[in-house]
């Protein structure tokens, strides 16, 4: 049994939620998002909360039960507050800057890397060594942050590269004479 799926998702104040069959739509101050649940899941709007229940007790239906509830909770948080992911750049000469909406990265290559963010994502560079990715879709914010990190991921000897702000790099010892 899903312990997460049993709990109904409360609709926060300031958000209008509608359930139309398998589709949950949320409108809030940041924008509008929707989630389409699998056919093995039943959705109901009761007492200003979305109740998620599996239609059968098969392993497949139960595995999608908790995930569906979490996805609905994520769209509610996204349209209310939004999501953000912070990245840090370490290394001599490694820096980031904005070129209009595009992110320009100097990461030790012979050329600068220019990253164009998808629609719905905002990138901010408060310091040359810090990047903040914001948006209302949690999956999209994480994907953009992962794509930026992929250009030059942190290496284990000196820790140079692009890393998540909360990420801890496991350092390796260099060779000895």
pLDDT at residue number 82: 93
pLDDT, averaged across the chain:
92
Burial of 43 (0-12, 13-18, 19+ CB in 10 A): buried
Q: Per-residue pLDDT tens for 112-151?
A: 999 999 999 999 999 999 999 999 999 999 999 999 999 9
Alpha-carbon distance 122 to 104, whole Å?
14
Q: What is the CA radius of gyration of the chain?
A: 21
Nearest CA to 144 among 115, 113, 101?
A: 115
Instruction: For each of the domains in the chain, give its residue range(s) and CATH number, in order of start.
Output: 9-80 (3.90.930.12), 83-164 (3.90.930.12)
Whether 2 has a pLDDT exceeding 80, the answer reads no
- Residue 98, pLDDT > 70, answer yes
Task: Give 13's contacts (C-beta < 8 A, 6+ positions apart).
Answer: none
Residue 62, pLDDT score: 87
pTM for the model: 0.88
Cβ-proximal residues to 56 (8 Å cutoff; 6+ apart), any chain: 40
pLDDT of residue 1: 58
Task: Name beta bridge partners: 19.
Answer: 24
| Average confidence (pLDDT) over 72-91 | 94
At residue 83, the pLDDT reads 95
pLDDT bin (cut points 50, 70, 90) of residue 176 is confident
Band (pLDDT 50/70/90 cuts) for residue 4 is: confident
Q: Which of 126, 123, 132, 129 is nearest to 101 (CA)?
A: 123
For 40-87, the three-class secondary structure string (H helix, E strand, C coil) is CEEEEEECCEEEEEECCCCHHHHHHHHHHHHHHHHHHHHHHCCEEEEE
Average pLDDT score over residue span 31-47: 91
């Amino acid at each position: 049994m899903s312990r997460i799926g049993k709990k109904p998702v409360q609709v926060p104040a300031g958000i209008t939620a509608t359930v139309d069959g398998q589709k949950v739509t949320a409108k809030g101050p940041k924008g509008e998002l929707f989630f389409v649940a699998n056919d093995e899941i039943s959705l109901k709007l009761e007492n200003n909360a979305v109740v998620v229940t599996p239609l059968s007790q098969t392993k497949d239906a139960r595995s999608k039960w908790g995930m569906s509830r979490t996805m609905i909770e994520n769209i509610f948080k996204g349209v209310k507050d939004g999501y953000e992911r912070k990245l840090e750049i370490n290394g001599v000469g490694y820096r980031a800057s904005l070129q209009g909406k595009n992110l320009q990265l100097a990461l030790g290559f012979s050329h600068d890397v220019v990253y164009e963010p998808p629609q719905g994502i905002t990138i901010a560079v408060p310091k040359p060594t810090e990047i903040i990715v914001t948006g209302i879709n949690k999956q999209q914010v994480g994907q953009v942050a992962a794509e930026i990190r992929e250009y030059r991921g942190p290496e284990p000897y000196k820790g140079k590269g692009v890393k998540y702000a909360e990420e801890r790099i496991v350092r390796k010892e260099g060779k000895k004479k």
